[in-house]
Structure 1
Amino acid sequence: MTTTEGSRGARPSILTVDDDPGVSRSIARDLRRKYGERYRIVRAESGDAALEALREIKLRGEQVAALLADYRMPGMSGIEFLERAMDLFPLARRVLLTAYADTDAAIQAINVVDLDHYLLKPWDPPEEKLYPVLDDQLTAWAEVDHQPTRQVRVVGHRWSSRSYAVRDFLARNSVPYRWYTLGDDEESERLLSAAGLDGTRLPVVITEGGEALVEPTDGELAARVGLSTMPSTDFYDLIVVGGGPAGLGAAVYGGSEGLKTVLIERMATGGQAGTSSRIENYLGFPDGVSGEQLTERARRQAAKFNVEMLTTRKVVGLEPRGPARVVRFDDGTELSAHTVILATGVSYRMLEAPGLADLSGRGVFYGAATTEGPSCSGQDVYIVGGANSAGQAAMYFARHARRVVLVVRGDSLDRSMSRYLIDQIAAVDAIEVQTCTEVVGGTGTDHLETLTLRDNRAGTTETVPASWLFVFIGAAPRTDWLDGTLSRDGRGFVLAGPDLLTSGRKPQGWDLDRDPFHLETSVPGVFVAGDVRAESVKRVASAVGEGAMAVSLVHRYLEKP
């Protein structure tokens, strides 16, 4: 049950949630008496109802000033509700209502949801126990600028690989933007005219400050939309290369444990996991969590611990220089630290089928490309791959497309996909799984128009109309730049710890008396975590765990190299 007290103006809201109807009405009454003229008072009797109310407020473009949640609620505790509410209104002040016996819960909530205050029940008289607390919280909220975020605007062609890349870059870096298709939207013409442009060179990105960027590079775009690209100093305790789950995990733990830490990312934090529409087997999220949500929370945590995060910086070299470990960027500049953690992840392999290479970003996409979901409405979508990433993409696009065809080279999904995903896919009528099938060709002029599928059992081919193809066919490590520096296996994955020892002998060039630590590479003080490590478990949870473990080994190295 959810009710709103007061009129539907543009006033900010105070939301209270308690599963006891009597308590819920009582606190709403006290809130209305004191704050009803300045705030909308919204009450709910369950966490789910409260989240639905918050979503409606978000869609209306209104603000929430404070959230008051009872700790003991069935189905979703107050802590769980506040944690999920942070994704919708991260600036709202968070207050937990607890009984005297539950004060330990408030201490827990301080760490989980950055709790602003906990309030003991009963709060009578409110003039002494409720209003002074809430007055302070509302004053703190009012001191923050809550003006609607001015959006970046992008004008481009629908089937332009660079236009897609710009939109994907902004989305993955959580930069709000508005998209205008040239020719389909009158506003696109007005924007170009105001900028003095004729649209022959696209995309055009108009920043919040009104600056028009024509065909900007990722670096130019990052610098103009407020992303950090330059380090604040030239020496750190720890450099983390790569911003996927392993890199973010390492950065959060490094920063939280007092190491001066910088994270360097080539495109956007989150890595491949950040593009996942739904991760349902990650510990602590029984209802699943999107890669975007998980990444954003990790970014907030890293920022909380003063971790610097640099985007659009490509690392092309690594070398030990005395006690320092030095990384070199593609522009020739360098950055040094006591230690380095490599968490560069892997990249999707290209689909080597005739006709597809020139259509990348124009109907052929590598990875989930969730920005394209709404554009697929009512159309057929083809997805190549049989692992979890392909299954998650199939479930996501099934919400938009008329039909999703999962093209799998093997004879079954059982070998490569988690059972929960197989069961979910089987329950969705819009998803069709074609096993023992490969994409062997494609055609198109401005964008993808047809695909050629080969049935490997029957030995036959079929050409089908298609405008959307998403590819998940395995991954390769991004480690060519480490050639001659670190030991790698035959596929390019970085060797570490016991894997470096051959018949008990240390790796060539190793000059320390001790053996390499578990995640330490063939260069002392350089560690590796996540998918780029040889023989790693390719799961988000294990990547985060390795990032945290690498930081503990960094401490051991710093204590006694």
Structure 2
Amino acid sequence: MAPTPQDEHDNAELTVVADMWSPACTAIRTFLARNEITCRWVQPSHPTGQKLLDEHGFTAEDTPVLIASDGRALKPTGEEQLAEWVGLHTKPTADDYDLLIVGGGPAGMAAALYGASEGLHTILLERWAIGGQAGLSSDIQNYLGFPDGISGSDLTDRARRQAAKFGAELVISLQADQLRPTDHGFAVHCTDDVTVTARSVIIATGASFRTLDIPSVDKFNGRGVFYFSALTEAPLCSGSDVYIVGGANSAGQAAVYFSSCARKVIMLVRADSLAVEMSSYLIEQIASIPTIEVRTSVEVVDASGDTHLEHLTLRDRKTGAVEEVPATWLFAFIGANPATGWLDDSFARDDHGYLLTGPDIATVDAAAWHLERPPLHLETTVPGVFAAGDVRAFNGHRVAAAVGEGSMAVMLVHKFLHD
């Protein structure tokens, strides 16, 4: 059932009028939630939605439409426009910086915090929202200093406020598409024709969500099929069966989170066991929740429905047996691919596209390093450009590892700038 205006933040200063099964609505609500902007959501068919559209000269066909409490209204045409309209910081304030960080996940935020706190004029560029994939985690239980766990959104909010306190400039909605050396450092060009220059760069772009790559499933993206969006969609799943694809920690955290509101959570795992990729503490937690069912050696092969997802076809990887099950909600947590496609060939990568850094360069592609001195530990094959977090080859794929690398990268930036 679609929520009424009373179901979400009735006193919010921003209202989104959009259909429940609109992928654009999903994208807007996720963008706002990840940037800590409270909104209420109203269906265009609801009397409140109809009234708001009429008052501002829109029809149901115009949705999604955003309406602010001060009377402003917007039919969004892009993320940058939306970010600027809701008051996010979308443009650099200076022409040149000491340190430019691309990517606002845990590694990038740690770099921004330590860079700014140690006196570097620091700017961070983030396309979507501060927090990266970690910002979408419902409950991080194994991060040092939080024995009761912490949500990705809470951790992100603390990091944002802490970095801002030290003067780091955090810019949202700029997508870097080129990095090139200059006479005095580096220039990063962004897709909306904004160029930012700096004496040093840390690449912390992480990885982009991997999709199921099944045409019949792709049709329902944002209409019952979602990737890494448990926090924003969970309220809609109350009392329903929820299918989760994946067997690593992100999938496990989502399963535990959904178990508090869903009638049943069914985990679909390609491997023979959760132990292949998931932390033991999370496996034990899942086993203790009776409303979570774990099905191993199973994969999704088809999907069907009318305006939204209604059925999934599953295949047993051992026996080949196929079954169709009713399903309205499918959340996939199946890993990610490194976000390095915007970088040119001067940046050496491993076979999977991750950036090579420090001593790893010599073990994979020694010819890619051209200076007499050895590369610094997190330095890429472009001297003065460092990499941290999930974008880097041989990384730890953990929030704590990314934070450590982000802070270490700043130490190495200091060494590079002062040598």
Structure 1 length as normaliser, TM-score?
0.72
> 1:318 corresponds to which letter in structure 2?
L
Do the aligned residues in 1 keep the contact of 2:348 with 2:365 (CA within 8 Å)?
Answer: no
What is the root-mean-square deviation in Å for CA atoms of aligned residues?
1.6
Q: Closer, same or farther in 2 for the Cα pair 1:504/1:465, shift >3 Å?
A: closer
Deviation for aligned residue 1:369: 3.1
Q: Which runs of 5+ in 2 are unaligned?
A: 1-8
Distance 2:405 2:289 in 1: 35
Deviation for aligned residue 1:358: 1.6
Equivalent position of 2:5 in the other structure: none
Which of 399, 407, 410 is the aligned partner of 1:551? 410
1:32-431 correspondence to structure 2 within 5 Å: 151-183=13-45, 185-431=46-292
> 2:218 corresponds to which letter in structure 1?
A
Structure of larger gyration radius: 1
The range that moved more, 200-209 or 418-427, is 200-209
Please list the CA deviations of residues 494-553 of structure 1 after superposition, one character each: whole Å capped at 9, or x if unmatched: 000011125995634x2x431110000011110000001001000000000000000000
Equivalent position of 1:57 in the other structure: none
**Structure possessing the higher relative contact order (Cα contacts under 8 Å, 6 or more residues apart):** 2
Which of 449, 456, 463 is the aligned partner of 2:310? 449
SS of aligned partner of 1:482: coil
Deviation for aligned residue 1:322: 1.9
Deviation for aligned residue 1:432: 0.2
Deviation for aligned residue 1:339: 0.4
Please list the CA deviations of residues 322-351 of structure 1 after superposition, one character each: whole Å capped at 9, or x if unmatched: 231111111233110000000001112110
Please list the CA deviations of residues 259-291 of structure 1 after superposition, one character each: whole Å capped at 9, or x if unmatched: 111110010010111000000000000000000
Is residue 361 of structure 2 the alignment partner of residue 496 of structure 1?
no
Q: Closer, same or farther in 2 for the Cα pair 1:326/1:174, shift >3 Å?
A: same
Equivalent position of 2:4 in the other structure: none
Percent identity, aligned pairs only, is 53
Which of 267, 287, 293 is the aligned partner of 1:432? 293
Do the aligned residues in 1 keep the contact of 2:30 with 2:229 (CA within 8 Å)?
Answer: no
Do the aligned residues in 2 keep the contact of 1:223 with 1:229 (CA within 8 Å)?
Answer: yes
Distance 1:393 1:276 in 2: 7
Do the aligned residues in 2 keep the contact of 1:246 with 1:545 (CA within 8 Å)?
Answer: yes
Distance 1:545 1:299 in 2: 17
Deviation for aligned residue 1:435: 0.2
Q: Closer, same or farther in 2 for the Cα pair 1:202/1:485, shift >3 Å?
A: farther
Which of 292, 313, 326 is the aligned partner of 1:465? 326
Do the aligned residues in 2 keep the contact of 1:228 with 1:311 (CA within 8 Å)?
Answer: yes
Is residue 372 of structure 2 the alignment partner of residue 540 of structure 1?
no
Q: Closer, same or farther in 2 for the Cα pair 1:208/1:557, shift >3 Å?
A: farther
Equivalent position of 1:71 in the other structure: none
> 1:156 corresponds to which letter in structure 2?
A
SS of aligned partner of 1:458: coil
Distance 1:257 1:186 in 2: 54
Distance 2:394 2:365 in 1: 19
SS of aligned partner of 2:219: helix
Equivalent position of 1:513 in the other structure: 372
> 2:197 corresponds to which letter in structure 1?
S
SS of aligned partner of 1:420: helix
SS of aligned partner of 1:355: helix
Distance 2:169 2:365 in 1: 39
Please list the CA deviations of residues 352-381 of structure 1 after superposition, one character each: whole Å capped at 9, or x if unmatched: 224111211110001133111111011110
Distance 1:456 1:503 in 2: 35
Distance 2:305 2:51 in 1: 31
Structure 2 length as normaliser, TM-score?
0.95
The range that moved more, 206-215 or 499-508, is 499-508
Displaced runs of 4 or more, over 3 A: 502-506
Q: Which runs of 5+ in 1 are unaligned?
A: 1-60, 62-147
Do the aligned residues in 1 keep the contact of 2:178 with 2:343 (CA within 8 Å)?
Answer: yes
Do the aligned residues in 2 keep the contact of 1:506 with 1:515 (CA within 8 Å)?
Answer: no
Distance 1:393 1:214 in 2: 32
